[in-house]
Amino acid sequence: MNKQIIVLTPGRSGSSMVASMLLELGVFMGNVTRPPDDANPLGYFEDAEFIKLHQELLEDLPTPEPVFDAPLELLARMRTLVEQRNNQHQLWGFKNGEMSLTCHCWHRLFSNPQYIVVVRDPRAVVESFERAWGIDRQTSWANFAIYVGSIEYFANSKRVLRLEYDTTLDYPGTAQLIASFIGVRDESKIAAAQAVIRPEMRHIEVAHEA
């Protein structure tokens, strides 16, 4: 049976690292559309075809908000893409920050989805929003709340693996944890996935308030 491995995150929370680990574990993650840069040294691991459909789902919204329905024509193209991936790959997945808003639409199209939720200290996420995207502090907090609220509402009744970004950087069994969740037993793939993690990947150190 096909499995779809979907990474949910508010963004700037380590999802690219997790997507890179999934790739090493043998999960087809689509076509990489953005190369590594200073904000994301591993690359983004985002499928161009899914990104295009995400953008269409969200393009008429003045501000970020969860999307529960799609126009029939767009829904048909979403279904076609999922069927293509199922026909081509037994184990495939994707990640994109906007998936936290559009997951409500996509879920009904998947036959056997496995969701990985990646979280991080909210203050670090908001500071990363500001630095990477030039968004002001108030808007960053508002967007973060919307993304996380959508994920939590969606994931409440789903089979989910939750990963805390900073913990994954220090835990030597992160790859094994992910592999067990998605049903991968190949030790060489698990070792390669674990090797993706580098503690120096912490982007911002956030001082705790006294």
What pLDDT score does 37 carry?
A: 76
Asked if the structure places residue 119 within a domain, the reply is yes
Asked if the structure places residue 14 within a domain, the reply is yes
Structural contact between residues 97 and 54, judged by C-beta atoms closer than 8 angstroms: no
Question: Which CATH number do you get for residue 172?
Answer: 3.40.50.300
Closest CA to 12 of 121, 104, 175: 121
Average pLDDT over residues 185-210: 75
Model confidence pLDDT, tens digit, residues 41-97 = 778 888 989 989 989 999 988 889 999 999 999 999 999 999 999 999 999 999 988
Provide the pLDDT confidence category of residue 202 given band limits of 50, 70 and 90.
low
139 has pLDDT over 80: yes
Asked if the structure places residue 162 within a domain, the reply is yes
Average pLDDT over residues 141-163: 94
Number of separate domains in the chain:
1
Asked if the structure places residue 203 within a domain, the reply is no
What pLDDT score does 33 carry?
A: 65
Structural contact between residues 57 and 74, judged by C-beta atoms closer than 8 angstroms: yes
Asked if the structure places residue 138 within a domain, the reply is yes
Model confidence pLDDT, tens digit, residues 93-126 = 999 888 999 999 999 999 999 999 999 999 989 9
Closest CA to 95 of 72, 76, 121, 114: 114
Provide the pLDDT confidence category of residue 207 given band limits of 50, 70 and 90.
very low
What pLDDT score does 97 carry?
A: 87
Asked if the structure places residue 204 within a domain, the reply is no
What is the CA angle 164-167-132, rounded to 5? Answer: 65
Give the integer Cα–Cα distance in Å for 20 and 146: 26
Give the integer Cα–Cα distance in Å for 1 and 15: 25
* Average confidence score pLDDT of the chain: 89
Stated pTM of the model: 0.91
Asked if the structure places residue 19 within a domain, the reply is yes
Structural contact between residues 123 and 206, judged by C-beta atoms closer than 8 angstroms: yes
Asked if the structure places residue 25 within a domain, the reply is yes
Identify the domain containing residue 39 by its residue range. Answer: 3-198
